[in-house]
Structure 1
Amino acid sequence: MNRRDVLRNLALITGGLVMVPSCDFSQEDILSAYDKLKVSTDMKQLLGKIADTIIPPGKIKGALDLEIQDFILVMVNDCLDEDAQQSFTKGFKSFENYTINKTGNKFGQLETSQKEEVVLAGLQEEDEDYKDLQGFLGTTKRFTIQGFLLSEYMQTEVKPYSLIPGDYQGEVLISSLKSEKING
């Protein structure tokens, strides 16, 4: 074996071992696409579960299947003013504590009916302490519905979008008209 190769490998291993203690692997990765919100991957997954509670899968895909949480975060990050973004973030961060106070478990550990109850209770909360939480859930609900209805899946497979309103047919019997697939 070549002595130079051994020394080079030894230097690389020593340098790597010196660098390992300085690396902090405990911090959550902040997603750079949502720079104003400081959202981690765990928060994004939680938002997906909340959106999936609002529009669950059934005969058609649910909000989590269409990754509506990305749409919500982009809309909040790019379209809302700074005060609304801060309120959204405060409500988002307090949501897990609210869930634990209401049910005793984290949101991801709840049954579907319990998740629905927590979201409905948060939307109807009238206490001034939960103003940010109510704003967060209202914004999440609004953008979940908007993102779902404007998704490619809805516009192409469930309710086909026609750019042109249709051709003119002067005499058509109402009974011969074909209704659109609205609910899949």
Structure 2
Amino acid sequence: MNRRIALRHLALISGGLALIPSCDFSSDDILAAYENLKVTASQKQLLGAISDTIIPAGELKGALELEVPDFILVMVNDCMTSENQVLFSTGLSAFSDFAKNTAGKKFDQLSTKEKEDLIQTGIDLKPTETPEGEKDKAVSYFLNTTKRLTMQGYMASEYIQTEVIPYSLIPGPYNGSALISEIQKPRING
């Protein structure tokens, strides 16, 4: 009886090993967290590179460190109309080709200045009434939306609101003769 079980397990393992070469483990799966968007992991990485180019790390943390790409995708997924979601997704998909056609390289291979110029060129695109113009419209919409949401997500992050510019829900006491010094951090919203 033990021999039968051992042979059955051997047959199952052999069948499994025979199927492994036909499996494609290199595919770029669609992220399940964003049900209205069809975003892959490589596209999310590209979005992170774009947002990090818009607000890079320096003395302060950058957009990528504050997970702004997740904020962008959640906002597009939850707060935009289906037409705008399609336009955003189309622009995200077309951006790689736009970068390759405009700069001659992939976005990741460009220098920081070239990335900034490419993003500004994409934001300033004036689409025409051709099929190529539709891609330009999608790329321009994608970059404008990404820039706007990057700034919004960065300024609303916990890091900015607690460490850089302290948030005060209600105004503090009024002191009309206080001098504003370089050391004092500005308070926003009160």
Taking structure 2 as the reference length, what is the TM-score of the superposition?
Answer: 0.86
Partner residue, 2:177: 173
> Is residue 2:126 matched to residue 1:152?
no
Secondary structure in 2 aligned to 1:163? coil
Tell which deviates more after alignment, 158-167 or 78-87: 158-167
Deviation sequence 1:129-152 (CA, Å, 0-9, x none):
111111000100010000000001
Deviation sequence 1:103-143 (CA, Å, 0-9, x none):
11100111000000000000011132111111000100010
For residues 151 and 84 of structure 2, the distance between their equivalents in structure 1, rounded to whole angstroms, comes to 19
Q: What letter matches 1:174 in structure 2?
A: A
Partner residue, 1:74: 74
Partner residue, 1:45: 45
Deviation sequence 1:54-92 (CA, Å, 0-9, x none):
111111011011110000000001100000001111111
For residues 169 and 5 of structure 2, the distance between their equivalents in structure 1, rounded to whole angstroms, comes to 66
For residues 112 and 9 of structure 2, the distance between their equivalents in structure 1, rounded to whole angstroms, comes to 55
Contact 1:91 1:136 in 2 (8 A): yes
Q: What letter matches 1:156 in structure 2?
A: T
Deviation sequence 1:139-167 (CA, Å, 0-9, x none):
00010000000001101111111222113
Deviation at 1:13, TM superposition (A): 0.8
Q: CA RMSD in A?
A: 2.0
> Is residue 2:61 matched to residue 1:61?
yes
For residues 27 and 90 of structure 2, the distance between their equivalents in structure 1, rounded to whole angstroms, comes to 20
For residues 104 and 58 of structure 2, the distance between their equivalents in structure 1, rounded to whole angstroms, comes to 28
Secondary structure in 1 aligned to 2:179? helix
Contact 1:158 1:181 in 2 (8 A): no
For residues 133 and 173 of structure 1, the distance between their equivalents in structure 2, rounded to whole angstroms, comes to 51
Aligned residues: 179
Say if 1:100 and 1:9 are closer, same or farther in 2 by CA, change over 3 A: same
Q: What letter matches 1:89 in structure 2?
A: S
Partner residue, 2:123: 123
Q: Which runs of 5+ in 2 are unaligned?
A: none
Q: What letter matches 2:12 in structure 1?
A: L
Taking structure 1 as the reference length, what is the TM-score of the superposition?
Answer: 0.89
> Is residue 2:142 matched to residue 1:136?
yes
Tell which deviates more after alignment, 134-143 or 122-131: 122-131
